[in-house]
A and B are shown apart, each in its own frame.
Chain A
Amino acid sequence: MKELTVISGKGGTGKTSIAASFAFLAKNRVLADCDVDAADLHILAQPEIIHQEDFFGGKKAVIDHDKCSLCGICKENCRYSAISASFVVDHTACEGCALCHYLCPESAITMEETLNGKWFISNTRFGPMVHANLIPGEENSGKLVALVRNQAKLIAEERNMDIVIVDGAPGVGCPVISSITGVDHVVVVTEPTMSGLHDMKRAAELVRHFNIPISLVINKWDIHPGMTAEIEEFAKSGNISLAGKIPYDRAVTDSMVKRRTVVEEGPGPASDAIIEVWEHLNQRIWQ
């Protein structure tokens, strides 16, 4: 069983559309939407939820105002400025470190589990899918990503499936790291813009940091062939294998509006290119 993660560095490069297309093209696969901050894969996969569970990401401090003597020790020592002048804990600022709980002379502060979101196991026309919703504004997305990935892997192992396709998060931080550590292969989707190149370099550096094999896909390559050439040059010099280039094609947005992947809509410039990229990747993953 192999685990393949699609990331992008920069947002909006077509990562999810491409990951969903891979899901359609792959056989015997499990999908994991690890872009839990702004999950979009479900829009194309149209999952039918068969199991759901609450996600408790961590603990937060809660002050019992009946016990609180307003001494201020908690507030003075909190490094996250999470305790207000009226001794109310700001949930969005509290890291759950429990320092206040240990310092409070009145034992007025307890650490309580907080509901951060929900996660789901669903059926889709692409096979099983594990996905999640983080409650907007909540933290611990890295932890939820780890959970989604683990569940997807469990399903793959139980049902003897060949591959887990992970739609990763943008950026290079906590949720991205969480969606790539220990996977077999990472695909970085970029676009031929200065920002695309810049962010791809950082994403590639991150993947390298964790010693994971990497392939590059240049999406919308024809919107700026000069920049595409520059990205290809960078890939060559950095020993990053180019899995292929996908041309700009309005059919991608059109199919998204219909909540389908572009490869399901039949042949076309983008669709044909994605199929080629997938075949190429498949060879690399199993070689």
Chain B
Amino acid sequence: MKIAVTSTGKAVESAIDPRFGRAPFILIVDDDCNLIEAIDNSTNVNAFRGAGIQAAKTIADRKVDMLLTGRCGPNAFTALGAAGIKVGIEQSGTIREAIERVKKNEVSFADKPNAEAHW
């Protein structure tokens, strides 16, 4: 399984960034938290609208199965849903800790967006 996590840095020990579209990095890891790719999301950080949509497309193009983040707005949520990506929300701590929670089935998956549309 491929998991995308919004991150403040490039390593799996970095802290999770709660923002989806505007996180500086998005890390793609496997079930055992081996880093597959660290995506530099800086072009998106300063996007006006549609940052979440573009981030969703970025991870969907990489055939990711699950996203772990803090908050997810309505447009990104729609886009992720269309790509069949499960959205684990309200995640904090490091990327490694979040993956541990996935293993223990402690992640709650969103059935609706948990943030307002951001401009």
Contacts and interface: CB of A to CB of B under 8 A. Distances in A.
Partners in one complex: yes
A146 B48 contact: yes
A181 B48 contact: no
Instruction: Give the interface centre of B22, B115, B118 by most chain A CB atoms within 10 Å.
Output: B118
B116 A181 contact: yes
Interface string B104-119: 0000000000011111
A57 B48 CA distance: 9
B116 A182 contact: yes
Contact of B116 (A140, A145, A147, A210): A210
Contacts of A143: 48, 119
A129 B115 CA distance: 26
Interface residues of B, number: 8
A31 B22 CA distance: 22
Nearest to B48: A143
A58 B116 CA distance: 24
B46 A181 contact: no
B48 A142 contact: yes
A146 B116 contact: no
Contacts of A57: 48
B119 A177 contact: yes
Contacts of B119: 142-143, 145-146, 177-178, 181
Contacts of A181: 116-119
B28 to A, nearest CB: 25
B65 to A, nearest CB: 28
A107 interface: no
A20 B14 CA distance: 38
A182 B115 contact: yes
Nearest to A177: B119
A58 B46 CA distance: 11
Contacts of B118: 146, 181-182
A142 B48 CA distance: 8
A134 to B, nearest CB: 14
Given A145-B119, A146-B119, 8 more contacts: A140-B48, A143-B48, A147-B46, A177-B119, A181-B119, A182-B118, A210-B116, A211-B116
24 contacts: A57-B48, A58-B48, A140-B48, A142-B48, A142-B119, A143-B48, A143-B119, A145-B119, A146-B48, A146-B118, A146-B119, A147-B46, A150-B22, A177-B119, A178-B119, A181-B116, A181-B117, A181-B118, A181-B119, A182-B115, A182-B116, A182-B118, A210-B116, A211-B116
